[in-house]
Structure 1
């Protein structure tokens, strides 16, 4: 199976932790260089320094909710990393909240991320097309974009992730002629830092164990398990796959316990 990324450059938007960081690590180990985008701070700095121990890794600090920062990050990507051939859109957050409790700020927080991902992806794709080497993009969508779970009301989140799934399908068609493949993964409950904001720290392990019972495989997933699927979709091993939404969900979409 061809999983070599020698001579390629990966951009990971949301790569300072969780699935994005695991993907960056896996691709670095296979010969690529990596550019990590994330919110400025110790987490981004520490992640970049740790990744750099395994290969060429740099970072661009950006708050995806700040349009001026997104524009600046886009300029840097275009000027410094126009040779990128791989992209992972991993940024996101998740706070379950009943529909009637949502306010405009809650809604905007999810869709600001989609807007940023849309235009940052546009920048990276321009470089891929100009370079003429093709490329691969993987978006991290969600099981919640496929179906609702009563225990985790997620209207705005699900709506935003469904939009990312739709972007995946449309870009797969538009970019196929340029040799650029576009796929997505749709994880179910995964033990990432994202859930640390959902449950109190002293209840996190027990809560994830309870949600794990929803999955036919009997547990929540790990960031590495999702990252392995993403690395496959980025790699030449999936060279005839585009427009796919791959369920990496412990069997939830097949049927729940």
Structure 2
């Protein structure tokens, strides 16, 4: 299937590792020009070089998405460098698990407002696109109670609600909005590798809950996000696509 992504222009937040990096790589492999941000300068430079090697325009910048002014400036710079903007992917999370005030503040500023501010900054550019798509990355923790029920789960649930609201309100402007909710996703340097070594009981419990007997990969999550971002999903909007290997048991109606 031709996803119709060649020549489109995308912004991905948190694009240097894990799910975000796989999304950026997959978009670039489809011929999409990609701008991305992250906080580590060395990782940003290495990722930018790797994406450019795929033959597309790549723009990497060091940005903390909790800094609203910096995020807006990055989006405008990315749109100028690529000649416009068609796709945004809000991927960054503070991974705020502790149920304390610091965790709630971090989750709000990074997960929730990082998403809202990205959308607000991108909307003037998306309104000029004929293939505009918003993809937000939530989590299965946003649809059922688990060990992350606190700031992380609450804000992931809020992101789903916010995105479905966008889908309804922006449909008349031909701007689609969808969410991907990954299940447990394992990759080197990721949170589950750290849990595997730091809290093996929790890791083994989480692994045992999945009937597939394994965790997902960043590429499996990226495949879903890139499809939803693509013109091939032109009549899909307001959807929360759960990618969890049957981990969650609730029926999504």
**Residue 236 to residue 2, structure 1, CA distance change in 2 (3 Å):** farther
1:134-173 mapped onto 2 (5 Å cutoff): 134-149=131-146, 152-173=147-168
Q: How many residues align?
A: 247
Match of 1:70 in 2: 71
1:19-34 mapped onto 2 (5 Å cutoff): 19-34=19-34
Match of 2:217 in 1: 222
Distance in 1, Cα, partners of 2:113 & 2:221: 24
- Of residues 88, 113, 116, the one that matches 1:115 is 113
TM-score under structure 1 length normalisation: 0.87
Match of 1:126 in 2: 124
**Residue 213 to residue 66, structure 1, CA distance change in 2 (3 Å):** same
Distance in 2, Cα, partners of 1:209 & 1:215: 10
What are structure 1's unaligned runs of at least 5 residues? none
What are structure 2's unaligned runs of at least 5 residues? none
**Residue 80 to residue 122, structure 1, CA distance change in 2 (3 Å):** farther
How far is the alpha carbon of 1:186 from its aligned partner?
0.7
When structure 1 is superposed on structure 2, of 104-113 and 57-66 the one drifting more is 57-66
1:230-249 mapped onto 2 (5 Å cutoff): 230-249=225-244
CA deviation map 1:97-141 (0-9, x unaligned): 3x3xx1x22211111112122112112121111x14141111100
Is the 8 Å Cα contact of residues 77 and 123 (structure 1) preserved in structure 2? no
Is the 8 Å Cα contact of residues 89 and 135 (structure 2) preserved in structure 1? yes
Distance in 2, Cα, partners of 1:174 & 1:134: 17
Is the 8 Å Cα contact of residues 95 and 154 (structure 1) preserved in structure 2? no
- Of residues 167, 172, 179, the one that matches 1:184 is 179
Match of 1:5 in 2: 5
Instruction: Give RMSD over aligned pairs.
Output: 2.2
1:36-47 mapped onto 2 (5 Å cutoff): 36-47=36-47
Distance in 1, Cα, partners of 2:134 & 2:67: 23
How far is the alpha carbon of 1:204 from its aligned partner?
7.5
